[in-house]
Amino acid sequence: MTTRITIAAAFALAAAAPAAAQQQVPFRNDIPVAPQGISERPLPAQPVRYETAEGQNIEVTVVTRGLARPWSLAFVASDTILVTERAGTLRVIRGGKLDAKPVDGVPEVRAEGLAGLMDIALHPDFAANGYVYLAYSKPISADDTAVAVARGR
DSSP 99-143: -SSPPS-PPP---STT-SEEEEEE-TTHHHH--EEEEEEEE-SSS
Q: Give me the mean pLDDT over the 67-95 stretch.
A: 95
Contact in structure between 83 and 102 (CB atoms under 8 Å):
no
Instruction: Encode pLDDT of 101-147 as tens digits.
Output: 999 999 999 998 889 999 999 999 999 999 999 999 999 998 889 99
Domain ranges of the chain: 66-152
Among candidate residues 74, 78, 92, 89, the one with its CA nearest the CA of residue 133: 74
Contact in structure between 125 and 104 (CB atoms under 8 Å):
no
Distance, in Å, from the CA atom of 119 to the CA atom of 84, rounded to the nearest integer, reads: 7
Instruction: Encode pLDDT of 44-58 as tens digits.
Output: 889 999 998 998 999
Contact in structure between 64 and 92 (CB atoms under 8 Å):
no
14 or 97, higher pLDDT: 97
CATH 1.10.357 fits 66-152, yes or no: no
Output the CA–CA distances (angstroms, integers) from residue 64 to 17, 33, 48, 95, 126, in the order listed: 49, 29, 15, 9, 24
Q: Answer whether residue 8 shows pLDDT above 70.
A: no
Helix (H) or strand (E) holding 150: strand 145-152
Written as one letter, the residue type at 151 is R
Helix (H) or strand (E) holding 70: strand 70-77
Quote the pLDDT of residue 35: 73
